[in-house]
Chains A and B, each alone.
Chain A
Amino acid sequence: MTTTVRPKERLLFEGADWDFSTLQRIHDACEEIALGELGLDVYPNQIEVITSEQMLDAYSSTGMPLFYRHWSFGKHFAHHEAFYRRGMRDLAYEIVINSSPCISYLMEENTATMQTLVTAHAAFGHNHFFKNNYLFKLWTDAKGILDYLDFAKGYITRCEERYGEAAVERTLDAAHALMSHGVHRYAGKTTVDLRQEEKRQQERRAHEEQMFNDLWRTVPVGKARKGGDIGLEKRRAALGLPQDNILYFLEKSAPRLQPWQREILRIVRHVAQYFHPQRQTKVMNEGTATFVHYQIMNRLHERGQISDGNFLEFLKSHANVVFQPSYDDRRFSGFNPYALGFAMMQDIERIVTKPTEEDRAWFPDISGRGDAMAVLRGIWADYRDESFISQFLSPNLIRQLRLFHLYDDPDQTEGVLVSAIHNERGYLRIRRQLSREYDIGWTDPVIDIVDVDLAGDRRLLLQHIVMNGCHLQEADTRLVLQHLADLWGYDVLLQEIDGSSTVAREYAASPRKIVQ
C-alpha cells in the first residue's frame, strides 16, 4: 500500500455507520470501477433504503415494489415472517428490480461494508446483466414494468369494485395455478412493450363501451353454421393448436370468460413472462453479480478506499454467500447458484488469462485471449444457464467441486447407480447432465393444448408428454385442472402420453358453477 494517500483515495467510510452521503460516495466509487475498469453498461441506478419489514413485504410480492392484492402474498409474508422472527433465516441483503432506472433496495440494518457489497452486487452486477443479457432484452421491458404493474394493480382494484372481491379472487387463483404455463417459451415476433399493452387495453375497453348497443341482442341469428365439416387440421390451425401457453389460449379462445377476466389472465401472463428470463438465468445472474462485487470490492481495497477491517468483514459475507456444502452435508439443499456461478466466472477468467493445456484443448476459442472482462461480458450477453453450463463448465471445475452423477431408476431394485464421476470419462456426461438440470424445457413438464371439440361438447384436450416415466404430481394436477375447467367453461381432459404414445393416465374436470 502506498504511504502517500491522494485525497481521491481516502477511505469511503470508517466503521459500520453510514449516512446518505456515504451511500453516494460508495455508489460513485463503485461506478468508477464498474464502468471504467470492468467496462460494464448499466441502466441508471436508483437506490432505495428500506426497513426489514419492507424487505419482507417486497419478498412476499415476488420482489416487486407494487403489486396487486391477493391472499397468497399475505400467506407468503406470514411464512417468511415466521421464519425470520424465529431467527431461522436471514433476510436477503438485497432485492434488485429489472427496471429502468434499476432499483436496488438496501436495508437500513446493513453496515456500511454491506451497503458497499450490495451496491456493487445489485446496482452494477445484476443491473449490467439485466441490461445486456439477450433473454432480458427479448422478453422484458425494463422501462415499462413499473408503470405496467401500477396499471395492473389499479385495474384489479377496479375489477374488485365492479364485480366483487370473490369473483376476482377466483379468477386470480385460477390464473396463478396456470402461471407456470403462461409464458411463450420461444422467441416471438416482437419484443414486449408494456406501455403499449396498457394503452391498448384502455382503447379496447373504450371501443367496446362505445360500440355497445343493446339492440344487437334482439337481432335474430341465422341457423348455426354446421361444424364437423371442417377438417381436424384446419380446426387446430384456426385455434393455433397445439399451444403450450395455456393462459394465452384461454385469454384468446375461452368462450365464457368476461372481458375483465381475459384482462386479468393477460396481466398474470405478462408477469409470468417478465419473470421467465430470471428463472432461466439464476446461475449466470448471481454468478455475474457475485463476480462483479468481488472485483469491485477488491479494487476498492487496493485503492485504499476500504479499510482492512471492513474488507475482512466483506470477505466473511462473501464466503457465506458462495459456500457450497457437499451432498452429504446437513446443510446441502442442491446447488447454490451464487457458488456455482461465481466459481464458473472465476474459472473462465483463469482460462482466459492463464490457461493450461487441458483448457486449450477444451476451450480453444477463449483460452489465452487475455482480456477476461471482454470475454465475460460477451458470455453474459449471449447465454442462459443451460447453454452457459454446457459450454463453459470445465474439467478443472468439475474436479474442484468433485461432481458426480447419480442415475436413479425406480425399476432398479439394488440401488442408485453412480453413472459418472469427475474423471476423463465423466466430464462430458456430467456437464451435459448438469446443463440439463437448468434447462426448463427439460425440467418443466411439457403440456400442450392439442384439440377442442368445437362441434360437440367443446371439451378441451391437453396432453402431457411423459419423459423418463415422470408423471405429473397427482393431487396438484387435479386442482389445477379444476381451475382450468372453471376458466374454460366446459369439460377438460388431460392425458399423460407415454413414449409409445399410449395414454398412461387421464385427468378430467368439469367446470364448477361459479361463473356469474
Chain B
Amino acid sequence: MHIVDRRLNPRGKSLENRQRFLRRVKGTVQQAVKRSLQNRNIRDVLDGGEISLPIDGMAEPSLRRGGDGISDQILPGNRAFVEGDIIPRPPGRNGGKPKEAGEGDGEDGFRFVLTREEFLDVFLDDLELPDLAKRRLSETEEESPIRAGYSVSGSPSNIAVGRTTRLAMMRRVALHRPRAEELEALQRQIEECTDDKSRLALEAKLKSLTEKTRRIPYIDPLDVRYRRFENEPKPVAKAVMFCLMDVSGSMSEHMKDLAKRFYLLLYLFLSKRYKKVEIVFIRHTDKAEEVDEETFFYGPATGGTLVSSALAAMRAIIAARFDPTEWNIYGAQASDGDNSHSDGNLTGQLLRHEILPQCQYFAYIEVGEESGDSSASRSPLWTLYQGIRSELLPLSIRKVCRRNEIFPVFHDLFQKRDGQSKVTP
C-alpha cells in the first residue's frame, strides 16, 4: 500500500477551467454584474462576490426524456395508501408528477462567485475602459525612489564619492600602499645621501616602493560604490469623498443612475490610492442634508433648488470632521444644472473661496436625459462653473447623458495634466 500526500500539489488546478468558463459566459457575466451594481452599495463593489447567472447561457444539453407521458414510480414510506387508491394531483402542477430524484438542486439561477479582480475587470470592461486608465487604476500606490544604501554597480551619475574614497583608503592602508610623503622623504634622503652603498640601498627601496605604488592603485574599480535607490510605495493617507447631488424633481432615475456610476468609479479610484476612504453623501433641494447611501440614491425628496446649500453643508462638515491638513478632500457634484437665479453669486463665492482651496479636486458632472446632447450645456450652473474653471482651480466640469460616456468622462477628469498637479495625491 502506498500513501501519497497530495496536499502540497499545485493548487488551483481548476483555475484554467474556471477562466475558460468565464470567457465563455462573458456576455452573461457582464449583464449580471451590471444588474448587481444597481443593487449594490458603493463600498460593496470592491468585495467582488456572488452573482447569479441564468443557467441557459451555459447549458450542457443531452438527449433525455421530457416529463410527459406515463410514469411509474416506486416510493418508500407508505403509511396510509392501499392498492387502488387515487391520489388527486396537487393543483397547479402540470401533470402532477412527483418531483424526480436528483432534481432538487434548483439550477435556474446559477450562482457564481467572482473574485474582486474578476469583478473589477468585468465592471471596468463594461465601461469601455481605455488601457491607459486601466493601468492607472490598478496600481495601488504611487512609488517614489528613496535612498537605500550603496551598491557595486550603477550609473556614473550615482557614484558615491565619499564612500568610494573611504573604501579606497581602507584598502590602501590595509595593503600598505606607500604614501606620497613617504616616497618624498625617501627621495630627499637619497639626494642628501653621500654614501654610495647606502644610497643604492635607498634607491632599491624607493624602486620597490614605487613599484608597489603602481601595483596598488590609488582608486581601484573595486572601491567604487554607487548610491542605490529603491522604489518605495508612498505612505498611504486618508481621503474623504463628498458626493453632492441635486435631488429636486427634475432629476430622473436615469440621471441618478449616471451619478451613482460616477461616484462608484470615484470611490474605486480613491480606494485604490488611499488606505481609508470616507464617503459623505449630501443631497440637496433648497436645503441640504447629510444622508446615508440608501436615502441618497433612492429616497424621495423634492423642492426648489439652492446649490449653495450643499456647498455650505460641505464646508461645515469639513470644518467639523475633516481637517484639510490630514485629509485629502474630493468633491463630486452631480446635477442637472438647474439653480435658482439668485443663488448663483453665493454658489460662486463658496466654491471659489471656501471649497476649492481645501479640495484636492472637485468634479462637477452634469447629467442629462439619455436622448440628450452631451457636447455642451447652457445651464446656469454650467455657465457659472465655467467661469470659475478658467482660474485654474482644481475644478473640472463635464456633461454626461449616456452610461457608456461615464468612463471616458471620468478618465478625462482624472487624467494627469499640466497645471493641475494637485489632482493626483
Contacts and interface: CB of A to CB of B under 8 A. Distances in A.
A327 B17 contact: no
B65 A445 contact: yes
Contact of A408 (B58, B62, B95): B95
A346 to B, nearest CB: 16
Contact of A433 (B60, B72, B112): B72
Contact of A46 (B4, B14, B77, B89): B4
A302 interface: no
Nearest to B73: A406
A472 B79 CA distance: 34
Nearest to A464: B63
B86 A418 contact: yes
Contacts of A468: 69-71
A472 B66 CA distance: 5
B387 interface: no
B98 A406 contact: yes
5 contacts: A74-B14, A85-B113, A181-B63, A329-B77, A403-B76
A250 B328 CA distance: 68
A contact face: mostly helix, strand, loop, or mixed: mixed
Q: Determine chain B's interface SS by DSSP, over half rule.
A: loop
Nearest to A470: B69
Interface in A452-485: 466-477, 479-480, 483
Interface string B387-414: 0000000000000000000000000000
A418 B1 contact: no
Nearest to B18: A74
A403 B75 contact: yes
A248 interface: no
A111 B101 CA distance: 31
Interface in B326-377: none
Contact of B69 (A105, A407, A469): A469
Contacts, number: 256
Interface string B1-44: 11111110101011011111111100000000000000000000
Q: Of B14, B66, B67, B74, which is in contact with the most chain A CB atoms at under 10 Å from its CB? A: B74
A135 B111 CA distance: 37
A470 B71 CA distance: 8
A368 interface: no
B96 interface: yes
Contacts of A53: 11
Interface of B: 1-7, 9, 11, 13-14, 16-24, 50, 58-79, 81-89, 95-104, 110-113
A71 interface: yes
Closest 7 CB pairs of A and B: A334-B101, A326-B77, A74-B21, A74-B17, A469-B69, A470-B69, A327-B75
Interface of A: 20, 23-24, 27-28, 31, 44-51, 53-54, 56-57, 60-61, 69-75, 77-79, 81-82, 85, 101, 105, 108, 169, 173, 176-181, 324-329, 332-335, 401-410, 414-423, 425-426, 430, 433-434, 436-437, 444-445, 447, 466-477, 479-480, 483
B421 to A, nearest CB: 45
Contacts of A176: 60
Of A108, A410, A415, A474, chain B has the most CB atoms within 10 Å of the CB of: A410
B81 A472 contact: no
A75 B83 CA distance: 45
Given A73-B14, A78-B113, A418-B86, A404 B70 contact: no
Contact of A471 (B4, B66, B82, B88): B66
B63 A445 contact: yes
Nearest to B101: A334
Contacts of B72: 405-408, 433, 436-437
Given A101-B2, A402-B78, A437-B73, A474 B14 contact: no
B61 A177 contact: yes
A470 B83 contact: no
Given A327-B76, A333-B103, A447-B63, 7 more contacts: A50-B6, A407-B72, A420-B83, A433-B72, A470-B69, A470-B71, A480-B61
Contacts of A334: 100-102
